[in-house]
Amino acid sequence: MTAVTTAPADPETRVRQSTPRPRGRLRPWLYLLPSAAVLLPLFGYPIYMLGLLSVFDYRQAQVSGGEPTRFIGFDNYATLLGDQRFWSVLAQTVVFAAVLVIATLAVGAALAVVLTKAGRVPRLLLSLAAMAAWAAPAMTGSTVWMFLFDADLGLVNQLLGIEGYNWFYDKWVTFGIVGATVVWHSFPFVMVTLYAGIQAIPSSVVEAASLDGASAWHSFWRVIVPMLRPLVTIVVIQSIIWDFKIFTQIYVMTNGGGIAGQNSVLNVYAYQTAFGSSEYGLGSAIGVIMTLILLVVTLLYIRALYRSGEKL
């Protein structure tokens, strides 16, 4: 505070003093130090270790049996690529995620448009309901949907008047119910984001379109959608990343991957391979493949961010 009394400098020098503000070169790194102290050992190092484990023969015998760990190069990957089961899990992960992304987007976007057209009270009701679904933990969302579809006491069976029908036996029906739970959780994000985006479009643009004779349908597809494209890209990629990583819903609702693991997705498959079958090396290899796929999506995401004019 002493500087105040000893600096009767004229305004110009004051300004000049304050402009090259970020003077300390080390200061930003000082501020980043706590993050680095947490993230390097607990995030960076495990990623490196994941890669390392994936090229070793690392099973229960090595973990607790004292057997030497053996470097086996890409054998784990070769095992996976030659395994019919890996390919079928990969395929159903991709299909499941794709369907989820499309469904989430369709529901979210449609309701975002509805929000812009609806009156105040219905809009408030839908926003609040969506918030509740958004906030509900994946765990409790799963338990509630399981209860709704329970064979004996579930509401759905009671309404349909079918007693004891188990919805979780059939692979695709199960995927459908789990998918509905996931969409229920994730459409609010899409809805709220797109709604905010639509609100941000100057009304003059839409008015101009309608003066030019565009119908509501036309001005939606030709004016609003193109203007929202950057936002939509971001929402799509964010959804891909989330839906590709679904874990809790599958794990809880199908009790670890369904009958004979028929409802496994990559994430659950990696976890079960490592902790269920004690094949830690093989599980890590699945994890690496997943990470690589997500990395590609992430790079697309970063490119989309740049294109939308986001300054990094």
Interactions with other proteins, residue window 265-284 (CB under 8 A): 267-268, 270-271, 274-275, 280, 283-284
Count Cβ atoms below 10 Å from residue 65 Cβ, excluding itself.
8
Residue 276 vs residues 47, 165, 289: alpha-carbon distances, Å: 21, 29, 19
Query: How many residues lie near other proteins (CB under 8 A)?
Result: 113
Q: Which is nearer to other proteins, 78 or 160 (CB)?
A: 160
* Closest distance to other proteins from the beta carbon of 300 (Å): 11
Two tokens, residue 167: 């919805």
Integer Cα distance of 294 and 73 in angstroms: 23
Stretch that binds other proteins, among 66-74, 97-105, 112-120, 171-179 (CB under 8 A): 112-120
Choose which of 72, 94, 114, 214 interacts with other proteins (CB under 8 A).
Answer: 114
Alpha helices in the chain (DSSP H): 2-5, 11-18, 27-39, 45-53, 60-63, 75-81, 84-117, 120-135, 138-148, 155-160, 171-200, 203-211, 216-219, 225-244, 248-253, 266-271, 280-307
Choose which of 8, 12, 159, 203 interacts with other proteins (CB under 8 A).
Answer: 159
Note the residue count of the chain: 312
Stretch that binds other proteins, among 86-94, 146-154, 203-211, 218-226 (CB under 8 A): 146-154
State the residue for tokens 């009156």.
119
Determine if 10 is a binding residue for other proteins (CB under 8 A).
no
* Closest distance to other proteins from the beta carbon of 175 (Å): 18
Choose which of 86, 175, 197, 264 interacts with other proteins (CB under 8 A).
Answer: 197
Determine if 217 is a binding residue for other proteins (CB under 8 A).
no
Determine if 72 is a binding residue for other proteins (CB under 8 A).
no
Interactions with other proteins, residue window 160-189 (CB under 8 A): 163, 184, 188
Two tokens, residue 24: 């300390």
Determine if 8 is a binding residue for other proteins (CB under 8 A).
no
Q: Which is nearer to other proteins, 141 or 258 (CB)?
A: 141
161 contact partners, CB below 8 Å, separation of at least 6: none
Determine if 123 is a binding residue for other proteins (CB under 8 A).
yes
* Closest distance to other proteins from the beta carbon of 81 (Å): 18
Burial class (CB in 10 A: 0-12, 13-18, 19+), 145: buried
Choose which of 91, 132, 162, 205 interacts with other proteins (CB under 8 A).
Answer: 132
Two tokens, residue 110: 């449609």
* Closest distance to other proteins from the beta carbon of 116 (Å): 8
Determine if 287 is a binding residue for other proteins (CB under 8 A).
yes
Burial class (CB in 10 A: 0-12, 13-18, 19+), 216: exposed
For CA atoms 102, 247, 186, 39, the dihedral sign is: negative
Interactions with other proteins, residue window 45-64 (CB under 8 A): 45-47, 49-50, 53, 63
* Closest distance to other proteins from the beta carbon of 110 (Å): 8
Could you tell me which of 188, 286, 287 has the C-alpha nearest to residue 239? Answer: 188
Stretch that binds other proteins, among 68-76, 77-85, 204-212, 232-240 (CB under 8 A): 232-240
